[in-house]
Amino acid sequence: MQELSLSELNQQIKTTLEGHLAPSYWVVAEIAQLQVNHSGHCYLELVQKEEGKVIAKARATIWAYTFRNISAWFTRTTGGQLAAGMRILANTKVSFHEVYGLSLNIKDIDPSYTLGERERARQQVIQQLTSDGVMDMNKSLELPVVPQNVAIISSATAAGYQDFINQLTHNPYGYHINYQLFAATMQGNSAPDSIIHALHQVHASKKFQLVVLIRGGGSQLDLDCFDNYELCSHLAQFPLPVLTGIGHERDTSIADRVAHTQLKTPTAVAEFILYGFNAFHNKITDLFTSISNIASNYITAEKELIKQLMNDIVLLSHHKISKENTAINTKAQQIVHLVKWNQTRAYNQLTNIEQQIAHTGQLQLNKAHNQLKSLTQKIDLLNPKHLLKRGYALAYKNGKLLRGTRATKGDQIEVITETQQLSTTVTQAKENNHL
């Protein structure tokens, strides 16, 4: 067997490959690593994976002049730059160097393939979320009209985050909204896990009514993280409404589609929240105005009713007073008539009584006069002078009529006759047996 040096073997390999391989091949691969050196040359590591395992690997280069053209065209077409994790369709020339071994020299990259692969991957995620039955779960949540506590998932240094805060805090209505930032990586392969971690923190706090996911600008490929299945599944099933303002105008991410409400920019998200506040404020104002108008109309109607009732009361009062005055006048006339009748009757009765009293008095007076006359006559008949005229005399002993008093011999007796008053001394006293 002929002995070969390593360089001779590598030279035969190089010659054999150059003699049997086509000038170039269109190769599908995933960029595992990408590095651009100071001279502008791009060095890549390409891999092929099946079920997450690498089954093929190759080094590749894009020389500086070619890389400038390919990169510019790729960016203009896709809106993003070549980066690790992308699947590409590259026109490659197989090269073998005696020192550096086998490598691929990339002459061109088809950006439409990368976009197509991206869309294919997107559709797979959408189909999986739809199959899981979670695609519209977050949309079914009731959106708070005036959320007082808002959780923000974004990068603290993102311009979109600052735009959102400025719009929210310097709103022309003077509304105050409490918010808290949950910082997360917003692009690249680490973004999905970072955002999911922030969602877990928001859920653990138990104090928020709304979640805002904002980024603010970026190319389509920069935002591929928002098409990640795990992230979108968490967003779809999150128990709070999620608003997105990721900020790319030409496409809608799957995160936008599963969120409760998708808005184009962080500023638009802030305006949406403020619009809800303002709409609620206007609704309350309209309700107050409506209540005020209803109350005013009610008060006006009640005033008119009261006015009508007052008029009715005045008319009824006048009617009642007139009726009562008539009744009073009638009663007064009846009373006057009755009083006059009673006066006449009383006068007549009094006259009769006076006449009766006068007649009775006269009768009594005549009777008394007759009685007095009779008594006078009787008294006069009893007057001792009549006895004296008839020859009788009155005898007094010691100034007292000698009546029932016995006189004895020697008593001084005064005897009164019709014509004389005699003084005598009893010389003899004896019993009168004649009477």
In a domain, 267, yes or no: yes
In a domain, 176, yes or no: yes
Structural domain of 408:
387-425
Residue-wise pLDDT tens digits, 146-165:
999 999 999 988 878 999 99
**Do residue 150 and residue 268 come from a single domain?**
yes
**273: which 2 tokens?**
């929240």
Which of the listed residues 109, 138, 165 is the one where a domain comes to its end?
A: 109
Residue-wise pLDDT tens digits, 286-301:
999 999 999 999 899 9
**Do residue 137 and residue 268 come from a single domain?**
yes
**Do residue 202 and residue 254 come from a single domain?**
yes
Q: What's the pLDDT score for residue 1? A: 65
| Closest residue by Cα to residue 171 from 265, 271, 264, 281 | 271
In a domain, 275, yes or no: yes
CB neighbour burial string for 271-292, b if at least 16 within 10 angstroms, e if fewer = bebbebbbeeeeeeeeeeeeee
Q: Which CATH number do you get for residue 44?
A: 2.40.50.140
Q: What's the pLDDT score for residue 141? A: 95
Q: Compute CA 21 distance to the chain's CA centroid, rounded to the nearest angstrom.
A: 81
Residue 344 Ramachandran class (φ > 0 left, ψ -120 to 50 alpha, else beta): alpha
Residue 405 pLDDT class (50, 70, 90 cuts)? confident
In a domain, 212, yes or no: yes
Q: Which residue has the higher pLDDT, 198 or 317?
A: 198
Q: How many domains does the chain have?
A: 3
In a domain, 332, yes or no: no
For tokens 């005229």, what's the residue? 389
- For the chain, what is the mean pLDDT? 86
Residue 66 pLDDT class (50, 70, 90 cuts)? very high
Rounded to an integer, the average pLDDT of 102-108 is 92
Q: What's the pLDDT score for residue 222? A: 63
**Do residue 142 and residue 259 come from a single domain?**
yes
Residue 249 pLDDT class (50, 70, 90 cuts)? low
**Do residue 171 and residue 32 come from a single domain?**
no
Residue-wise pLDDT tens digits, 348-396:
877 888 787 778 777 877 887 887 788 777 777 777 777 778 788 888 8
pTM recorded for the entire structure: 0.54
**Do residue 69 and residue 33 come from a single domain?**
yes
Q: Which residue has the higher pLDDT, 191 or 247?
A: 191
Q: Which residue has the higher pLDDT, 357 or 69?
A: 69
